[in-house]
Chain A
Amino acid sequence: AQRVTQPEKLLSVFKGAPVELKCNYSYSGSPELFWYVQYSRQRLQLLLRHISRESIKGFTADLNKGETSFHLKKPFAQEEDSAMYYCALGASGTYKYIFGTGTRLKVLA
Chain B
Amino acid sequence: EPEVTQTPSHQVTQMGQEVILRCVPISNHLYFYWYRQILGQKVEFLVSFYNNEISEKSEIFDDQFSVERPDGSNFTLKIRSTKLEDSAMYFCASSVIFGGPGEQYFGPGTRLTVT
- Interface set of A (CB-CB < 8 Å, partner B): 32, 34, 36, 42-46, 49, 86, 90-102
Contact = CB atoms under 8 A, between A and B. Distances in A.
A95 B103 contact: no
Given A86-B43, A94-B56, A45 B106 contact: yes
B56 A90 contact: no
Contact of A32 (B45, B91, B100): B100
Interface in B23-77: 31, 33, 35, 41-45, 48, 50, 55-56, 58
A86 B93 CA distance: 15
Given A99-B44, A100-B42, A101-B42, A93 B103 contact: no
Contact of B101 (A43, A96, A102): A96
Contacts of B50: 95
Contacts of A101: 41-42
26 contacts: A32-B100, A32-B102, A34-B103, A36-B106, A43-B3, A43-B106, A43-B107, A44-B91, A44-B106, A45-B106, A46-B105, A86-B43, A90-B101, A92-B100, A93-B100, A94-B100, A95-B31, A95-B55, A95-B56, A95-B95, A96-B45, A97-B43, A97-B101, A98-B45, A99-B35, A102-B42
B33 to A, nearest CB: 7
Contacts of A86: 43
B35 to A, nearest CB: 8
Nearest to B6: A43
